[in-house]
Structure 1
Amino acid sequence: MTSVLVVDDDSWTTRAVTAALRDNGDFEVLDPVHSGEEAVESFTAHRPDLVLMDVNMPPGMSGVDATAAILEHDPDSRVVLLTTVAPGPGIARGLEAGALAVVNKTAGEEELVSVVRAASAGESPELLKGLAEDISISGDELPEAPTSAPQLTDRELELLILLCQGHGYDEIAEAQFVTMSTMKTHAKNLRIKLGAKNLAQLVVRALQFKYYSPE
């Protein structure tokens, strides 16, 4: 089963999320923790397949810093950010730290399970749907980009916009009249060109360089 660590300073949230995942039967949910420091400690001890990380946990280490520490410890680890009903500050910085996706704490059980299952399998364009909008709503100040804005070809810009909109690889390959393998190669090259470590960071870059503006 997929092992999951839930991190949130609100015990009611950790109980609800833990119960939803355990009831599904496909997940082994570790004992939840309630601070960034505990998150890093628990991850180091148990190496879960996925961490659901609250963004803001005052006082002490934030979810953003804990995400960065976990990714520094294990670059292959997978973190999904937990946000409130109205996404608040920290989302963009959490994604810049290496998180793969964002899910609302009040998401229904079906949506929560879907996101956890998809993220535990690796990054996916479907996890990007609504991400740019969430960052925009949060009013979060975008972190400084690690590189200057490169010149994108029309095809690269189209691919970036389709990814920001959360279209799946199969849809994008069909829209660009290429094979799945070719399209994934193009997406990888786009990450390199924009200095993005994963697909979620492509969304951040698209907003930083104003290649994409959510409606």
Structure 2
Amino acid sequence: MSESGVPEVDDPPADELITVLIVDDDSWTTRAVAAALVDDGGFTVLEPQHSGDDAVEAFDRHRPDLVLMDVNMHPGMSGVDATKEIRSLDPEARIVLLTTVSPGPGITRALEAGAIAAVNKSATDVELVGVARSAAAGESPALLRSLAEDIMISGDITTDVHDAVPELTRSEKLLLTQICEGLDYAEIAEQQVLTIYTVKSHARNLRIKLGAKNLAQVVVRAIQYKFYVPE
């Protein structure tokens, strides 16, 4: 067992484990999240960090496959700024936000900084592990099932965008809605009677058209431009 109380797992082989850095100023949260991941047996959990500054240093030292990042931490560097710093060190860094039942200010700014998804701290162990595995594998609309609702609850978004609202075709609006609703590529392909490759290609084009760097930012843009409003 490590000094942080996180048990160590011997198998599967270490080179097959997903390396995760957990960042939260609440030690109870880091312990609970770490325990869920370690119990699954598919993760190596690094020593948890409790500030943005320490998170950046730990990321630079270990280069984990995934970072689970609290948005608001006190005192010192916030999760938003830590996300920016980590992404400046590695533009391919995969960061998932740890949010609360009522997400507060910062979630949209962290998504703009490069986080690819968010997971609620009250999520079940199964949900948490699922999000961690999916995020470590790369972007997927399935990671975004509750993101639009979380953004609206947070109030951390402005619909006052300076760029002209892009014109979307009917099929692009449909795809945008499906992404915002968190359908995975296979579900979208089945509903639209397309190949997964074609759906991914259309999603890339939509991202470019909306000026988004990732799928999470596609959801942000959908709300900013009022293409999508969660029920």
The answer to whether TM tops 0.5 is yes
2:32 paired residue among 16, 19, 23: 16
Structure 1 residue 92: Cα displacement:
0.8
2:123 paired residue among 102, 107, 112: 107
1:185 paired residue among 201, 219, 222: 201
Paired residue for 2:150? 134
Structure 1 residue 177: Cα displacement:
2.3
Paired residue for 1:202? 218
Q: Which runs of 4+ in 1 moved over 6 A?
A: none
Q: Helix, strand or coil: the match of 1:106? A: coil
Q: Aligned partners of 2:219 and 2:230: how far apart in 1? A: 11
1:122 paired residue among 125, 138, 147: 138
- Relative to the length of structure 1, the TM-score reads 0.96
Greater C-alpha radius of gyration: 2
Q: Helix, strand or coil: the match of 1:210? A: coil
Q: Helix, strand or coil: the match of 2:68? A: strand
Paired residue for 1:165? 181
Spell out, residue by residue over 1:128-182, the C-alpha distance to the aligned partner (whole angstroms, 9 max, x if none). Answer: 1011001111121338758432100111111000100011111211222222111
- 1:85 to 2:101 alignment: yes
1:73 paired residue among 57, 73, 89: 89
1:28 paired residue among 44, 47, 64: 44
Paired residue for 2:55? 39
Q: Aligned partners of 1:182 and 1:158: how far apart in 2? A: 14
Structure 1 gaps, min length 5 = none
Tell me the percent identity: 65
- 1:5 to 2:18 alignment: no
**Structure 1 counterpart of 2:127, which letter?**
E
Q: Aligned partners of 2:35 and 2:195: how far apart in 1? A: 41
- 1:63 to 2:67 alignment: no
**Structure 2 counterpart of 1:186, which letter?**
H
Q: Aligned partners of 2:136 and 2:164: how far apart in 1? A: 32
**Structure 1 counterpart of 2:203, which letter?**
A
Paired residue for 1:96? 112
Structure 1 residue 82: Cα displacement:
0.3
Q: Aligned partners of 1:183 and 1:146: how far apart in 2? A: 29
Structure 1 residues 168-177 or 180-189, which shifts more?
Answer: 168-177
Q: Helix, strand or coil: the match of 2:227? A: coil
Q: Aligned partners of 1:41 and 1:143: how far apart in 2? A: 35
Paired residue for 1:212? 228
Spell out, residue by residue over 1:76-117, the C-alpha distance to the aligned partner (whole angstroms, 9 max, x if none). Answer: 110000011221111111111111111111211111100000
**Structure 2 counterpart of 1:56, which letter?**
N
> Does the Cα contact within 8 Å between 2:159 and 2:223 map onto a contact in 1?
no
Q: Aligned partners of 1:117 and 1:145: how far apart in 2? A: 34
